[in-house]
Each structure stands twice: as structure tokens, then as C-alpha cells.
Amino acid sequence: MNNGKLLTFGIQHLLAMYTGAILVPLIIGGALGMTPEQITYLIAIDLFMCGVATLLQVWKGKFFGIGLPVVLGCTFTAVTPIISIGLEFGIGAIYGSIIASGFIIILVSGFFGKIVKFFPPIVTGSVVTIIGISLLPTALNNVAGGQGSPTFGAKENIILAAITLVVIIVVYRFTKGFMRAIAILLGMIAGTVVGLLMGVTNFDVVAEAGMFHMVQPFYFGAPEFLLEPILVMTLIGMVSLVESTGVYYALSDITKTKIDSKDLAKGYRSEGLASIIGGIFNAFPYTTYSQNVGLVKMTGVKERSVVFVTGILLVVLGFFPKFAAITQVIPTAVLGAAMVVMFGLVITQGIQMLAPEIAKSMENALIVACAVGLGVGVSVVPGVFEALPQTAENLFSNGIVTGSLTAIILNVLFNMIGKKKAA
């Protein structure tokens, strides 16, 4: 493959994951009340770390790297936990939990196959569904212009969100292949252009951003290692490993590359190492992006060198804050419309995982009912457990923890203890 084709295919992979890559820091930065300058850094360091994490996986070493054409980014399943940890415990606790969970993932990588039985689809599907539903209020607040905004609910915001959503739907309906894969990105571009014509797009952040910067460890402060945040982030990490396992096997099948338990362990270690580095540089935990698997299947281009180029491009972009600042030009309502789709897809992913499991038995239906009901309920009705001791209140007031533990315990009770009798 010549260099021109290599670069083209590498850019194609970058564009396929770009929407998810920029939305995560934009959402988290906005929710935590960061300044435009801080959000710019967060976007830049996230792009940089997406590249580093991708290169760690593409490279096949003795202990790290699964050696498949896989692209990594921050999963949306981590967004809600990161925001809740930051609001309750501070930014230091976010990065302490990310670093600690990375070390734990590396430690369990060799025998994850033995504990994965505690994270079957009935558990992981429930967790993903809870997270997706918990994210929707953020999306709808942004559709209206952003919580606390003086223009909250203004017709201009609703119009921009509607245009963005319509463009996404139209592109997805009437195009195929790569164009369909970047439908959300194209919708955001269209919404931003309309916002510019309406006079709601502001380029001040871009003008103020520098052309080049060096990445800095602990940019937002030193990490703090607290039990509850570490537990939450470790649970998210375990769910991500289960999802990544599916991606590894899918790519193994597409590329006709055999993988064994040792290869899987190297893949898990790379994700753990990426999370450690991400925590040090005040970024995020990293996992495989399934949308890029679809791109590999669609194009038929299976060479690792293509994804290696994607990783290099992402690392380079991380050194140019002005490029990162451009993403902040996107109007809040446009972001909100994209979030509705992206978070809705998180919910559908959870439902897709749960549907065949629920169909198997009434017991599984009860597991989902209790896990999702409690997980979402705790998230939307805070203070339910305020009468409990402080540690227990903090732990169970987190919808993800409550939902996850409920699903794990009930799955053990109904599906793992004793032998199920034949109907």
C-alpha cells in the first residue's frame, strides 16, 4: 500500500472516531465547570491519549498490545461516573480512580477469563443501559442551550438542535459506507454552519488558543486515591474489558488472525496502561471503539499500518490546542442534538445486549428489572439512602454502583448457585 492510500485510510479511521473523541471532553469539561482554556487542553490531551492508547494496542509486544487494527478512545460508559466523581470528590479523585483502575486492570489481565463470569451480558447490558439513560438529561439540557444559560429553551437553540438531528437522520438514511459512519460528525458540522449564519457561533476561544503546547502531567492537579471513586471506575473498567473482548474477537475474525488467552491478556494490559497514562496526563480511561471495527469490515482494509497512521495523527493533533479549540465553536444546542443520538445509541447497545438474555428466562427479566430500576432510580432521585452511614450512602447513591452490584448479586443467585432445573 502506497503512502497516499495509507494516509487516506488513516484519516478515514480518525474521522470515524472523532465525534466520540471530542464529545467526551466537551461534556465532562462543561459539566465540571471548566474554563474554555481548560476544556481546550482537555480536548487536546484526549486526542493525544487516543493516539497513544491506539499505538499501544496496534503494537504487538511481549506483554502489551493485541496487534489488531483497533482504535481506542474514551468510552461513553465512563462519562457519567467521571462527572459524578468530579462533582462529589473533586478532579483529583477522578484521576486517582483512573490511575488505580488501570493498575487493577493490569493485575487481573492474566486471569480475567476466570472472573469474567461475573460480568455476563445480563450484567454488562444492565450497566450500559443505566449509563445511557443517566446521560440523557445532560443531552436535553444542552439541546435547550445548556443548564443555567440565559438563552435556555430559546427557539434558536431548538431550531439548531432540530437541524442537526435532521441532517444526521437524512445522512444516515440516504448514504452508505463511510458517509453513513460519520453521519453524526456531518450533522454537527451542518449545525455549526447554521449557527454561524444565525450569529450564535463564537470564535473567541479559537483566537485565544495557542498554536502549539507541550502535554503536561497532572495539569489539573495531583491525583487523590479514594475508595468509592476507585471502585466505580474499576467496575467501568471491567465492563469495558468485556466489550473489548467482543471487539478483539470480531477483528480476529475479520482479519483472519488467531488470538488466544495470552493475546487477550496483552490487550487488557494495554488498556490498563493507557488508563494509567491517561490519569497521569489528566485525560480519561481508554477502550476499544466498535465503530472502527465496522469501518475495517466495510472497507476491507485490514492492515495494522493504517491504524498506526491514525494513532500518529491523533498524537500530533494533541500538540495543537488551536485545533482542539475549534471544537468549542460548536453551539451547545448542536452538541445536545449529537448527544441525544450518541447517548441513545448507548441505550440501544445495552438493550441489544439484554434482549436475548431476557428472552431466556423470567429470572433474567427480574435481574434487569431490579438492576436498571434501582440504578436509574437512584440517579434521578438523590437522597434515597441518606439515612445510611456516610460510606454506605456515598456508595449506594451512585446509580452505576447500585445497579451493577444488584445485577451481579442477582445473577449469582439465579444463574450461578446450584444447577438450574430443566423446564
pLDDT value for 423: 42
In a domain, 332, yes or no: yes
> pTM of this prediction?
0.82
DSSP type of residue 414:
I
Q: Does an H or E element contain 73, and which?
A: strand 72-73
Q: Tell me the C-alpha to C-alpha distance, in Å, between residue 212 and each of 161, 229, 321.
A: 33, 33, 6
pLDDT value for 380: 82
**Number of Cβ within a 10 Å radius of residue 277:** 20
In a domain, 422, yes or no: no
Q: How does DSSP assign 8-63, residue by residue?
A: HHHHHHHHHHHHHHHHHHHHHHHHTT--HHHHHHHHHHHHHHHHHHHHHHHS--SS
pLDDT value for 399: 83
In a domain, 9, yes or no: yes
State the burial class of residue 161 (Cβ atoms within 10 Å of its Cβ: 0-12, 13-18, 19+): buried
Question: Residue 30 sits in which domain range?
Answer: 3-416
CA atoms within 13 A on the CB side of 45: 26
Q: Tell me the C-alpha to C-alpha distance, in Å, between residue 359 and each of 316, 341, 365, 410.
A: 47, 26, 8, 17
Q: Does an H or E element contain 228, and which?
A: helix 227-255
In a domain, 421, yes or no: no
Give start and end residues of each alpha helix (H) in 281-331.
290-299, 304-317, 321-326
Q: Which residues contact 111 (CB under 8 A, 6 or more apart)?
A: none
In a domain, 140, yes or no: yes
What domain count does the chain have? Answer: 1
The residue among 81, 42, 53 whose CA lies nearest residue 281 is: 42
Q: Which residues contact 274 (CB under 8 A, 6 or more apart)?
A: 49, 52, 53, 56, 57, 72, 102, 285, 286
Q: How does DSSP assign 245-294, residue by residue?
A: HHHHHHHHHHHT----HHHHHHHHHHHHHHHHHHHHTT----EE-HHHHH
In a domain, 278, yes or no: yes
In a domain, 423, yes or no: no
pLDDT value for 249: 85
Alpha-carbon distance of 238 to 197, in angstroms, equals 45
C-alpha 421 chain-centroid distance: 39
Alpha-carbon distance of 304 to 314, in angstroms, equals 15
Per-residue pLDDT of the chain (423 residues; tens, 9 = 90+): 677 888 888 888 888 788 888 889 999 999 999 998 999 999 999 999 999 999 999 988 888 999 999 999 987 888 888 998 999 999 999 999 999 999 999 999 988 867 778 888 899 889 889 888 988 888 999 999 988 888 898 999 999 999 999 999 999 999 987 788 888 889 999 999 999 999 888 788 888 877 888 889 999 999 999 998 999 899 889 888 888 887 888 888 888 888 888 899 999 999 999 999 999 999 999 988 877 777 787 777 788 899 999 999 999 999 998 888 888 888 999 999 998 998 888 899 889 989 999 999 999 999 999 999 999 998 888 788 888 887 777 778 778 888 888 999 999 999 988 655 544
